[in-house]
Structure 1
Amino acid sequence: MLSNLRDVMKHAVFFLTFLLFAASGYAAPVKPRCAVDDRNRTVCAVKPVQRIISLAPGVTELVYAAGGGDKVIAVDDHSDYPDAVKQLPKVGGYPNTSAEAVLAMKPDLLVIWSGGNDSRLSTQLEKIGLNVFYADPTDFDGIASAIRRLGTVMGTAAVAEKNADAFYQQYEAIRKQYRQSEPVKVFFEIWDNPLMTVNGGQIISQSIELCGGVNVFAGARPRVPQVSIEAVLAQNPDAIVSSEIVQKDHDIHRRWQPYAQINAVKNGFLFTIPGDLIARPTPRALNGAEVLCQQLDHVRAAKQRTAQGKH
């Protein structure tokens, strides 16, 4: 009888102890949410991310695509999409981002474009102890991956996965449509004075390739090389495509008219495309790619008509 009483007492003490822990708000340790950023650094968030600052237009779009839009408290001066960011506080723009303004807002996650933001600033902010995630996708797989990884750290993985999957499906649809298309040689002009283009390691070049085009300077160095008119003449592209940013003060047809020996000029295949669509490594890059694909289709159709006329 005494033994049974002792057992009852032990169970009662254990049960009361459990109730005390529960009543005091005891919880199991929270597992950190970690992902590897584009500088191969492991970035973790233990507490829920609530205050994000994004320091480049492209990474701002990635944060929103990953489901973190309602957590963004400030952006750089140049972020302009989606429309909601236009109302947010600004912390400066490259190369004049204000470290003081960033620190004053007490972010729990800072998202930086490792390919463009001031490395001295980012290093300084890291040393101070801010949680920094570097994003610099250079192809379409990298865009989907960045969305997923940001979603992991921000605690928005479900939204990020959904949007990354939708992005990849759009990519696959375009790829299948153009994978057997006749190649079109393309010169993409990102700046006119000095004349500059992109090599194969840039999202613009990936879009050209996706549309069945060939970037005539894919093998150049660095990622944004300066080229001469003579080099463009030697490549003799079928199409010249220019960012609308370049064309604000200079009409593309007027500028290239003196070089009628280039097939693109001779045949009138000079196109423009919004820079924020084609140049930012974000989900909207596929919208830019679709515009580019339609432009290159005009070149193919003309080539086909010419070939038929010869028979």
Structure 2
Amino acid sequence: MKILVFCGFIFFLAIFPLSGAGFELKTVIDQVSRQVVVPAAPQRVIALAPSITEIIFALEQENRLKGVTAYSDFPKKALKLPKVGSYVYLDLERIVSLKPDLCIAIKDGNPKEAVDKLESIGIPVYAVNPKNIETVINTVVEIGGLLNASKKADALAKNMRHRIKRVEALIAKTDLRPGIFFQIGIAPIVSVGTDTFIHELIIKAGGRNLAEGPVSYPRFSREQVLALAPDIIIITSMARSVVFEQVKAEWNKWPNMPAVKTGRIFLEDSNLFDRPTPRLVDGLELLLKLIHPELINEANKCL
């Protein structure tokens, strides 16, 4: 039945393509170098990843949002929007039923096959591909341009860059670089390699990523972590309180570990560190406080 319904939508769109139904159009190049014809003033937008949902809300353009993916939980208003599956497993029939005039996709997650199907039935898809903080800022600016919110996007970008420079100025005052073990997986123990947002944040916040290397999400045994002797352990998890107490109790069995000696084991919101949104700068500032509280105290004294 679903196949028949979806085929019906395809037939309808073949006759009345959404991208041409009374819209003024423009041609743009997206972040994966694709030429995309999009509405000049899109009114029905579907965000195909939680990070894109966050950016659209940050741009104050949520009135255009007609659908989001699962786990689009920030801000809370996003929870009330229609869901179109997860960003990995998109519900194409649901997307089509919401009659979007633009979908915004992310290369690292959305299946190319799903994007191709949407475009084949006349729904334009603009793809972003943020790889580091600077390209996240560029993504904010580009989505702002798509949604006629360039003024707000430029202000957000300026604010993000200003805050990053402020962190960099503080870090320049010290040569101390504590060793950080950033734990994103509990069983098995998983950390973050060099090619991740979290690695960049750790470095910018004045730490050393003890798991740096070519593997994006390397696995570790408990013995390997102990051998690294981290000064600070940062744990991110969706199941915050229960998991934190369990993992902290496990690490506290090793009183000679520097992070245990100084009580520097922290649990933080994973979305501040791994979603390519303006909140990455919040994550950067939080890491600065965790890694170099002495710099924060010094800065506060100067205010």
TM interval, shorter chain, is 0.7 to 0.9
Q: Deviations over 1:143-193 (max 9, x none)?
A: 110011112222222221122112211221122122343111101001111
Name the counterpart of 2:192: 198
Relative distance call for 1:199 and 1:180 in structure 2 (3 A) is farther
Shift of 1:265: 2.3
Q: Deviations over 1:62-85 (max 9, x none)?
A: 223345322111111210112321
Relative distance call for 1:133 and 1:260 in structure 2 (3 A) is farther
Q: 1:209 aligns with which of 182, 203, 222?
A: 203
Shift of 1:220: 3.6
Q: Deviations over 1:249-296 (max 9, x none)?
A: 322320212333432123321111111222212111111221221111
Q: 1:266 aligns with which of 261, 277, 281?
A: 261
Q: What's the secondary structure of 2:90's corresponding residue?
A: coil
Name the counterpart of 1:249: 242
Shift of 1:195: 1.0
Q: Number of residue pairs matched?
A: 271
Name the counterpart of 2:282: 287
Amino acid across the alignment from 1:275: S
Runs of 4+ more than 6 Å apart: none
1:78-89 correspondence to structure 2 within 5 Å? 78-89=71-82
Name the counterpart of 2:299: none
Equivalent-residue separation in structure 1 for 2:232 and 2:204 (angstroms): 15
Q: 2:86 aligns with which of 78, 89, 93?
A: 93
1:96-111 correspondence to structure 2 within 5 Å? 96-111=89-104
Relative distance call for 1:33 and 1:149 in structure 2 (3 A) is farther
CA contact (8 A) 1:187 1:217 kept: yes
Q: What's the secondary structure of 2:219's corresponding residue?
A: coil
Name the counterpart of 1:16: none
Q: What's the secondary structure of 1:242's corresponding residue?
A: strand
Percent identity, aligned pairs only, is 27
Relative distance call for 1:42 and 1:265 in structure 2 (3 A) is farther
Relative distance call for 1:129 and 1:242 in structure 2 (3 A) is same
CA contact (8 A) 2:195 2:214 kept: no
Equivalent-residue separation in structure 2 for 1:122 and 1:260 (angstroms): 51
- Confirm or deny that 1:123 pairs with 2:116: yes
Shift of 1:300: 8.6
1:40-119 correspondence to structure 2 within 5 Å? 40-119=33-112
Equivalent-residue separation in structure 2 for 1:234 and 1:62 (angstroms): 40
CA contact (8 A) 2:27 2:35 kept: no
Report the aligned-residue RMSD. 2.4
Q: Deviations over 1:74-102 (max 9, x none)?
A: 11121011232122111122444311000
Q: 1:142 aligns with which of 123, 135, 142?
A: 135
Amino acid across the alignment from 2:127: Y
CA contact (8 A) 1:253 1:270 kept: yes
Q: 1:230 aligns with which of 212, 223, 234?
A: 223
TM-score, with length taken from structure 2: 0.81
Greater shift, 243-252 or 132-141, is seen at: 243-252
Structure 1 stretches lacking a partner, 5+ long: 1-29, 302-311
Relative distance call for 1:156 and 1:238 in structure 2 (3 A) is same
CA contact (8 A) 2:141 2:157 kept: yes
Equivalent-residue separation in structure 2 for 1:299 and 1:224 (angstroms): 30
TM-score, with length taken from structure 1: 0.79
Q: 2:183 aligns with which of 189, 193, 198?
A: 189
Relative distance call for 1:117 and 1:258 in structure 2 (3 A) is farther
Q: What's the secondary structure of 1:32's corresponding residue?
A: strand
Structure 2 stretches lacking a partner, 5+ long: 1-23, 297-303
Shift of 1:118: 3.4
Greater shift, 175-184 or 245-254, is seen at: 245-254
Relative distance call for 1:263 and 1:56 in structure 2 (3 A) is same
